[in-house]
Amino acid sequence: MTNNEPVTLYAYVTSPYAMKVHSFLLYKQIPFQVYYVNPTHPERELPFGRSIPVLKIGQKARNDSTPIGLWLDQCISERPLMPAQVAVKNRVLTIDQWVSEHLIPSIFFSVYPKFFQPSSLRQCWPAAMQLGRCVAQTTHHGFPAGLRYLWPLLLNRAAFIRRLIEPLAAKKTASEHRKSVLLTLENKLQSKSFLADTEHPTLADLSAWSQIVGPYQLNLYHMDDFLNFSNIRLWVKRVAAYLPADTNKPPLVPAILNPRELHF
Ligand SMILES: N[C@@H](CCC(=O)N[C@@H](CS)C(=O)NCC(=O)O)C(=O)O
């Protein structure tokens, strides 16, 4: 990568996978911009495909969050996301897989409106409405009026969310699942500064960190629940110290959405 090649992350402000890549870019400390795509027709604005995130560096573009992280290390060797040692690298990839299979689904599960379970709607409805508001306020070319109010319905119909949630919903409620995932994360951090027991954050920390901090900063209902876990709370601040944002490095959640500060 040459110094003057523009770097653009194509994202939805609410996409967990885009948040992963956003935190990789902050860690790398390279200038970049975020383009918030219109979710009704992502293919019209993305460099290719219709899945978020896409990262474009110069004229090259890639999708899929973890492969994007590996590609970033190939393009920019400073501040590596992946450690050099094979055993540590494998630990990082195993934790990243846990993020994809457990932590990210726990977020979708918590905000997924189940119209035939009124009790679950108390939590899901405010979160789903808040997600709609956040997307409506950030979408690059604006958003069809009124669509944000249909967000709970759109979330309910999204095939990729259904695929993630269906296997979980058969076993536990959303809040049971969320609690057990946070407890696992708390235990993974026992006597460690970073998840793969490294001296600096790795791709594993950034993948998981963005899933704790993103929903919290978006002010999603109940997503401050990690504050009850002391290892997680301290690790959130420890990783945040490596991710300074400035005018060339947009914060994970833009100021227009009044992100919650990490003062705790
Ligand atoms: N494995 C992909 C998953 C990406 C993904 O599912 N993105 C969602 C947005 S949060 C999406 O665009 N889904 C629509 C689709 O895949 O058609 C990654 O890690 O980036």
Q: What is the pTM of this model?
A: 0.96
The percent of residues in the chain predicted with pLDDT above 70, rounded, is 99
Architecture of domain 86-245: Up-down Bundle (1.20)
Cα–Cα distance for residue pair 33/243, rounded to 1 Å? 15
Q: Where are the domains of the chain?
A: 86-245
Residue 70's Cβ-count burial label (10 Å; 0-12, 13-18, 19+) is middle
Cα–Cα distance for residue pair 31/140, rounded to 1 Å? 19
Cis peptide before 53 (omega within 30 of 0): yes
Smallest Cα–Cα separation from 93: which of 78, 81, 105, 108? 81
Pocket test for ligand 1, best of 51, 103, 111, 112 (most atoms within 8 A of CB): 51
- Tens of pLDDT, residue by residue over 87-99, are 999 999 999 999 9
**Cβ–ligand 1 contact at 54 (below 6 Å):** no
Residues 6+ apart with CB under 8 A from 147: 40, 132, 136, 154
Q: With bands split at pLDDT 50, 70 and 90, how would you rate the model's confidence at 2?
A: low
Which structure tokens are listed for 263? 């003062």
Q: How many CA atoms lie within 13 A of 72 on its CB side?
A: 32
DSSP 143: -
Residue 68's Cβ-count burial label (10 Å; 0-12, 13-18, 19+) is buried
Cα–Cα distance for residue pair 78/61, rounded to 1 Å? 20
Which structure tokens are listed for 121? 């709607």
CA of 189 to the centre of ligand 1 (A): 27
- Tens of pLDDT, residue by residue over 26-82, are 999 999 999 999 999 999 999 999 999 999 999 999 999 999 999 999 999 999 999
**Cβ–ligand 1 contact at 238 (below 6 Å):** no
Cα–Cα distance for residue pair 27/25, rounded to 1 Å? 5
